[in-house]
Amino acid sequence: MERAFDVEKLIRQNVKDLHPYASARDEYISDGSRMIFLDANENPFDNGVNRYPDPQQRSLKAVLAAQRGLEVDNLLLGNGSDEVLDLLFRTFCEPGIENVITLPPTYGMYKVLAGVNAVENREVVLNPDFEPDMDQIRDRIDQNSKIIFLCSPNNPTGNTFSRDIIVTLLRNFQGLVVLDEAYMDFSSEPGWIDNLKEYPNLVVIQTLSKAYGMAGIRLGICCASPEIIGAMNKIKPPYNVNELTQERAYARLLDQDAVREEISLILQEREKLRKELALLDYVLEVFPSQANFLLVRVDDAAKRYQQLIEHGIVVRNRSSQPRCLNTLRLTIGTAEENAALLNALKLI
């Protein structure tokens, strides 16, 4: 049954009551004229980073908003999407009382952050086809369930979830539906950013760590309604995205051709690797992937992992995850790296 969604009811009381830290850089917004800044106890000698960064990352958000067809107040940026995920817990989930729903096998940080924030993590294992198990999810949700984390394309399984299932959750769940789109740039399917207006409980998380090739600068992007973003902004550390990150991210976002070219090379390599892997006799299954990695089921993952290490190649053994017994997750590398991987796999 559909009910009206009220974000105010989801925000923790301490967050509602909070007066956020007002940083010096927030108080005075420059109109472009040259001012003398003696307000933030910085060192005055210019070296490019002697000033605090813009706490609201205005230039960066302006580009991101334009590229995504959003308004700036639909965006919050974090020190990687891991920080964004943590902010979601701290804004919306009351420790010791409330809970979140996660769908393993999936990205491990949802569980870790639930633990860090003392929020109960209710795990509902994906179906054998790696889709959300709607009956089980319905059973586990109660009035204290605040967030469902959906990773689509999912890490480590590589599939996107069915759009009908996601819509059903968005329409019926009274908490937030967080869609982690870390790998969406590699997918042939559309993402969910265009649906933010339609679903007020939708939160889409993106990152520059994957397709944009900038894992080292740490930039995560949270897209949601201004109400959700506003609540998260209240508790965000003022200078969470540093100056160097803002500059590098800005330049990279303007270089869409280069990003697209790299994505296309990675996708070509993914297809090549998928075909070759399927020919190996100890590879039992190569799961379809909408991401920049392939999950493969082998005869003995621990043994194959170790053999690859001996050939100087590190992959990820995902066997400990539910439904992932004897699986390895292989990130798509450069053509040379993938050739080396295939060569090693043929030798072992």
246 binds ligand PMP (CB under 6 A): no
Which residue, 26 or 247, has its beta carbon nearer to ligand PMP? 247
Q: In this chain, which stretch among 79-87, 251-259, 272-280, 309-317 interacts with ligand PMP, using CB under 6 A?
A: 79-87
209 binds ligand PMP (CB under 6 A): yes
Q: In this chain, which stretch among 62-70, 127-135, 138-146, 207-215 interacts with ligand PMP, using CB under 6 A?
A: 207-215
Q: In this chain, which stretch among 4-12, 78-86, 313-321, 332-340 interacts with ligand PMP, using CB under 6 A?
A: 78-86
Which residue, 29 or 314, has its beta carbon nearer to ligand PMP? 314
Can you tell me which of 81, 152, 157, 246 binds ligand PMP, judged by CB under 6 A? 81
155 binds ligand PMP (CB under 6 A): yes
Q: In this chain, which stretch among 80-88, 113-121, 128-136, 332-340 interacts with ligand PMP, using CB under 6 A?
A: 80-88
CB of 206 to ligand PMP, least distance (A): 8
Can you tell me which of 77, 151, 315, 345 binds ligand PMP, judged by CB under 6 A? 151
What are the tokens at 167?
């819509």
Can you tell me which of 215, 279, 325, 335 binds ligand PMP, judged by CB under 6 A? 215
Positions in 85-124 near ligand PMP (CB under 6 A) = 107
Provide the binding-site residues for ligand PMP, judged by CB under 6 A: 80-82, 107, 151, 155, 180, 182, 207, 209, 215, 220
